[in-house]
Amino acid sequence: MNYIVVGCGRVGAELAYSLFNKGHTISVIDQSAAAFHNLHPDFRGRVIEGDTLNRDVLERAGIENADGLATVTNSDPLNAVVAHIACTAYRVPRIIARNYDPRWRTLHELFSLQFVSSSTWGAERIEALLEYPEINTLHAVGGGEVMIVETMIPDTWDGKEFNQLFPPESCSLVSITRAGKATLTDRTALLAAGDVIILSATEEGVRALRQLLDSTMEAD
């Protein structure tokens, strides 16, 4: 696949090298030649120095035949505009924009962009690890509005139905691992102490899970 990475800071350099290692053809754009020093010495993709809003720079990077573009500079307006150009002018099929400052998220949403809010997601993840080590966040979708999380069923939930514990509008049960065997299931599943469940949840659903765990610990 042909991918373009716009911005060669720490995130862009890491992303470009990871994609390159998987066999993809990578072009990296940055307005500063010094930024390319962030790339791993083994990186063998193309580097293009120049203004990312310049049509010639984008076309030298191969945007007309690109399978995907990630714009990950530390400028949210620039990321949004580059992503919008890639979408509307070049019809790049896969476009991801980085949201650097959470205060600019509305701009990404205005353009209906697929974006990753690294600051917001990172802060939420660190908070969760500090306060709730028993909840393992496996994946976040969008800007972190929906998460895939894993937790172990405590003794006090033994024999309870998933529906009894979690609100349907904010939590969905994905799977249960019992005695080392994982199965797909639905909200009517009966839980057993020691089960490991994976669920998809909104921020509200994760808060509900935390409250349940808090009440369990208080009961103990």
From 120, 148, 182, give the residue that closes a domain.
120
Q: What is the pLDDT of residue 50?
A: 96
What pLDDT shows up at residue 207?
A: 86
Within a domain: residue 127?
no
Check if the beta carbon of residue 176 is closer than 8 Å to that of residue 197: yes
Would you state the pLDDT for residue 143?
Answer: 65
pTM for this structure? 0.67
Is 134 within 8 Å of 117 (Cβ atoms)? no
CA-nearest of 90, 143, 89, 140 to 113 is: 143
Whether residue 10 is contained in a domain is answered as: yes
Predicted local distance difference test score (pLDDT) of residue 167: 83
Cα distance between residue 20 and residue 15, in whole Å? 8
Query: Where does a domain end: 59, 89, 120?
Result: 120
E-assigned strand segments in 37-180: 46-49, 68-71, 95-99, 115-117, 136-141, 146-152, 171-178
What is the span of the domain harbouring residue 63? 2-120
- The pLDDT tens digits of the residues spanning 26-65 come to 999 999 999 999 999 999 999 999 999 999 999 999 999 9
Q: For the chain, how are helix, strand and coil distributed in percent, rounded to 5?
A: 40, 30, 35
Residues 143 and 116 occupy one common structural domain = no
Q: Which amino acid is at 12?
A: G
Length of the chain: 220
- Residue ranges of the chain whose pLDDT lies below 50: none
In a domain, 107, yes or no: yes
User: Domain check: are 202 and 113 in the same one?
Assistant: no
Query: CATH number of the domain that 90 lies in?
Result: 3.40.50.720
Quick check: is 166 in a domain?
A: yes
- At 17 the pLDDT is 96
Same domain, 8 and 116: yes
Give the count of domains, the chain: 2
CATH of the domain at 205: 3.30.70.1450
For residues 26 and 19, is the Cβ–Cβ distance under 8 A? yes
Predicted pLDDT of residue 80: 92
